[in-house]
Amino acid sequence: MRNLDARRARGIKIRMGIVCGLMGLGLGVIVSGAWSLQIEDGAEWREMAERQRQRRLHVSPKRGTLYDRNGTALAVSVEVPSVSLDAFELLRGVDDAHAPGVARDAALRIARALTLDAAEVERRILTRRRFAWIKRRVDKSEVEAIRALGDAKTSSPPLRGLTVEGEGHRFYPNRELAGPLLGFVSPDGEGKDGLEMELDAELRGHAEEVRGLRDRSNRLIFSQGVQDEQAFAGHDVQLTIDQGIQFTAEQELDAAVRTYEANGGSAIVVDPNTGEILALANSPGYNPNDYGVSDVASRRNRALVDRFEPGSTMKIFTLAAGLAGRVIGPTQTIFCEGGTMAIDNVTIHDTHLNGWLTPTQILAVSSNIGAAKIGMMLGESQLYEALRRFGFGEPTGLPLPGEASGVLRARGRPWVSVETASASFGQGISATTIQLAMAVSALANGGKLLEPVLVKRVTDGTGALVREGVPHVRREAVPAAIAHTIAEMMVAVTEGQGTGVEAAIPGFHVAGKTATAQKADPATGKYTADRFTSSFIGFVPAERPRIAIAIVLDEPALARAGGYVAAPAFRRIAEATLRYLGVTPHGVQTHPIAKVSGEVDPADATYELMREAQGKTAVVREQATPSAPLGAGAVRLPDWKGLPMREAVRSAVELGLVPAVEGSGGLTQQDPPAGAALPKGASVKLVFEPPT
């Protein structure tokens, strides 16, 4: 600078000062911007950076499995591929002006790959959301097509933001088996019906948040893993249901519904000693794998939702209350008014025109008048309390949604005389199938009303026991001695001239009760003449019960008598279940039974005679009176009266005769009469009368 003149040197210094000032000013701006970016707005920018480079995933745990009592899976969760879209990533770098065109092109390509509506896919892309499902539960070919769209080698330009993710899907390997009982799971993993809904919190487990980093190719690299995958998985639930018994119950119930063209039905099989539900069947049912194609009626759990007037099945509980209240004795006779009795302004009728009947005979021929008289002896208060002790008028506590409590009487209003009488034989009140099953189980186990057990065991993902279902006695319904007496009396229903002979099982004493209840018309409030609820409840073996069964058919069209419609289904379910459980028959002796229709001499109707009658099985009775000798090729007619249609017709065919059948139920008339001689091939008229 010394070699320069003063004027030029001064100019250089000025220019250097200006440059240094500008550089200092620029540095100040940079420092100020850095201060603002890192200090003043640092938290906001750091959060944005974290959002861009990290991804938080809410991992839904695997839903727990539902098992039957033997460990067979009834409902399992499986991983299936689903396609999701990150619309923000797909449109990254595309300005607003070009976004619609890019979205339309991408939507067309995605729609072709997944067979979707292109307009709907385009709408989802234009939302620019970070996550949206495009199609759930796709097949292998669709997975390959989506992956090809994102591969630069096979697609130009490649589509970003498409992801194939594993998603939990509920699968029911047995299809329709126990559909209304199990329920179903919606696509978002939430239980919507049945056990899936009631136990949803335990089956779902709890979601876990997992963080991951994105690499330069936008691929996810997990930085924090799950410490113990099983720790937050859904609980596994083992039910008391037995798959084999459930299958049998559903098959036989469906067969009965189809045969008699009923609107529907329900059947429950219970271990009366523990309260465990071995089968809970509904007809019609549905396939939970395809719940979307089923109607609401098929998904209804009729066994605990439907209320109906139980009819004559209530007579066993009325009789138990009468014995427990000491208003009648086991050998006492009651006059049944010849089949007609007026109470207030109502007339009660019996199907059979009976005179004096013992309690056992009242059950055997299902006398409404006999039951009504016992109920009126008890009185409104005692009868009401007795039925409540058997669990009627309140939920059973079954862990399923929508259980009805039934109606025992209007709130706050006592029964009048005719209501007390009608409630004694099951009219004017309502119950559910599960209530009937648990009530008859109380008679089978010695008088203890048990809470039904459906969940046997719950374990967490690690196998540790969470809770266990154990038998629980709600209360004593009747003393043990009374329960055993009623059980012995119920055997007369299925033997001899009882209304439930179709429920008899060779080699076993079967305790049961039939019912054929008229349905009320809601419009008129009166009972209809052509709509009925047919049912049968009972247990077997009567001496040491292993199973109790309740069967209800709603509005059978081709026949209506419970002894004809529901009793055969009871027999078939009971036979198969006893074989399945390894219960073998022990030689049951047969004894003659006293004729129970018409007037009975009280001196002859002893308790011991009726105990013998309970060992009676249906047999063909040969005519004992002398008759003319038989000619060549002729046969003598046995006495078939009281036999069910099946046995009477079979006996006639075996003799070479042609039966002409009228009616249904038990045989009341035969023409020619017993003892007559007929040539083989002749016709014999058989008239049957339905039991009540």
Better pLDDT: 608 or 74: 74
Give the single-character DSSP code of 40. I
CB 448 within 8 A of CB 389: no
The 10 Å CB-count burial string (b at 16+, else e) for 488-503 is bbbbbbbbbbbbbbbb
- Position 587 scores a pLDDT of 47
Tens digits of residue pLDDT in 340-381: 899 888 889 888 788 999 999 999 888 999 999 999 999 999
What is the residue type of 84? S
Residue 592 pLDDT > 70: no
Q: What are phi and psi of 396, to 5 degrees?
A: -80, -15
CB 504 within 8 A of CB 617: yes
Tens digits of residue pLDDT in 486-517: 999 999 999 888 889 999 999 999 999 999 99
DSSP E strands, 483-632: 511-520, 527-540, 547-554
Nearest Cα to 621, choosing from 646, 600, 582, 590? 590
- Position 606 scores a pLDDT of 28
CB 221 within 8 A of CB 50: no
Half-sphere exposure of 580 (CA within 13 A, CB side): 17
Tens digits of residue pLDDT in 176-210: 999 999 999 987 788 889 999 999 989 987 655 55
The SS3 of residue 31 is helix
Q: Considering 294, 312, 422, 664, which one is annotated as catalytic?
A: 312
- Position 180 scores a pLDDT of 95
In the residue annotation, 155 being an active-site residue is answered as no
Tens digits of residue pLDDT in 239-288: 999 999 999 999 999 999 999 999 999 999 999 999 999 999 999 999 99
Better pLDDT: 309 or 144: 309
Half-sphere exposure of 365 (CA within 13 A, CB side): 29
User: What percent of the chain lies above the pLDDT cut of 70?
Assistant: 84
Pairing label, strands 334-335, 356-357:
antiparallel
- Position 692 scores a pLDDT of 55
Better pLDDT: 6 or 68: 68
Whose tokens are 């019960």? That residue is: 545
- Position 315 scores a pLDDT of 95
Residue 596 pLDDT > 60: no
Q: Please confirm whether the linkage preceding 399 is cis (ω < 30° from 0).
A: no
Better pLDDT: 587 or 392: 392
- Per-residue H/E/C for 92-120: CCCCCCCHHHHHHHHHHHHHHHHCCCHHH
- Position 299 scores a pLDDT of 92
User: Residue 22 class from Cβ within 10 Å (0-12 exposed, 13-18 middle, 19+ buried)?
Assistant: exposed
Whether this prediction's pTM lies above 0.75 is answered by no
